[in-house]
Amino acid sequence: MSSFVVYPAIDLSNGRVVRLRQGKADQETVYGEQPLEYGKRWAEAGANWLHIVNLDGAFGKVSRQNWAILREILHFTSMKNLSVQFGGGIRSLADVDKVMKMGVQRVMLSTLAIAQPQELEKALEKYSAQRIVVALDCKDEWVYSHGWRKESQYRVLDLARQLEKAGVRLILLTDIDRDGTQTGINISLLRKIKDAFDLDVILAGGVSSLEDIIKAKSNKAAGVVIGKALYEGSIPIEQALQLEE
């Protein structure tokens, strides 16, 4: 990746647009019953990418509503030259194949990358390192999986080292404690990764202001995911997108 990207987030739960606080299912705020309308809103503002998460899938649940909505959004984005980054419950190479065939441009992997590194390597070989992003969801610099509920055996830097060796080039770094809190981004962890590895890093968790976006960009992040700050009106989407330039 060569340019900085702002990713408006659309998190899906039971067919609704929601935001969770620190990834906790019991701390959910519902923002709407029509996710496609948010996709259209971000597209009209000039977004080039949408960041879509199937929260039910991440928590091991089946939600036909979320899949139906993803299809609607992909139909819309295919007509608008808009790209989709999608994840949540992608636990096998067959799952990766499924969403790629649906028209997703980039798939986010977390649990699969940690538990089945050989499947990650197969996905990278089949689709290229630019179409696979590995999500490093961390708390106190330990990586979590299974919808942020299970602590893994890896520290962030240790797993990042393994991922780089495996051919990963793009990671999504989320500070779980900051996610959905609008308390600011974890720049120190971003710097540690950028100093140690040749990885493009999309930063998520705690984005609260345009200053956070500027700070991420100036510290060589490849992009930021914005969720609650957009839905609460703390960051105007148009101004955020101007920082891509």
Domain borders along the chain are 5-242
Q: What is the mean pLDDT of the chain?
A: 92
- Determine the distance from the C-alpha atom of residue 149 to the mean position of all C-alpha atoms in its chain, rounded to a whole number: 17
Confidence of residue 169 (pLDDT cuts 50, 70, 90): very high
Whole-number Å distance between alpha carbons of 200 and 104? 20
Question: Is the pLDDT assigned to residue 179 strictly greater than 80?
Answer: no
Residue-wise pLDDT tens digits, 110-162: 999 999 999 999 999 999 999 999 999 999 889 998 876 778 889 999 999 99
Q: What is the pLDDT of residue 177?
A: 82
Catalytic residue among 95, 97, 137, 212: 137
**What band does 22 get if pLDDT is binned at 50, 70 and 90?**
low
Q: Pick from 169, 190, 57, 168: which is nearest to 121 by CA?
A: 168
Active site includes 11? yes
For residue 158, indicate whether it is catalytic. Answer: no
State how far the Cα of 189 lies from the Cα of 5, in Å rounded to an integer. Answer: 19
Q: Are 47 and 240 in contact (CB under 8 A)?
A: no
| Predicted structure pTM score | 0.94
pLDDT, tens only, 56-95: 988 888 889 999 999 999 999 999 989 999 999 999 999 9
CB count, 10 Å around CB of 122?
Answer: 13
Which of 11, 56, 200, 212 is flagged as catalytic? 11
Note the residue count of the chain.
245
Are residues 180 and 144 in contact, defined by beta-carbon separation less than 8 angstroms?
no
pLDDT attached to residue 163: 97
Architecture of the 5-242 domain: Alpha-Beta Barrel (3.20)
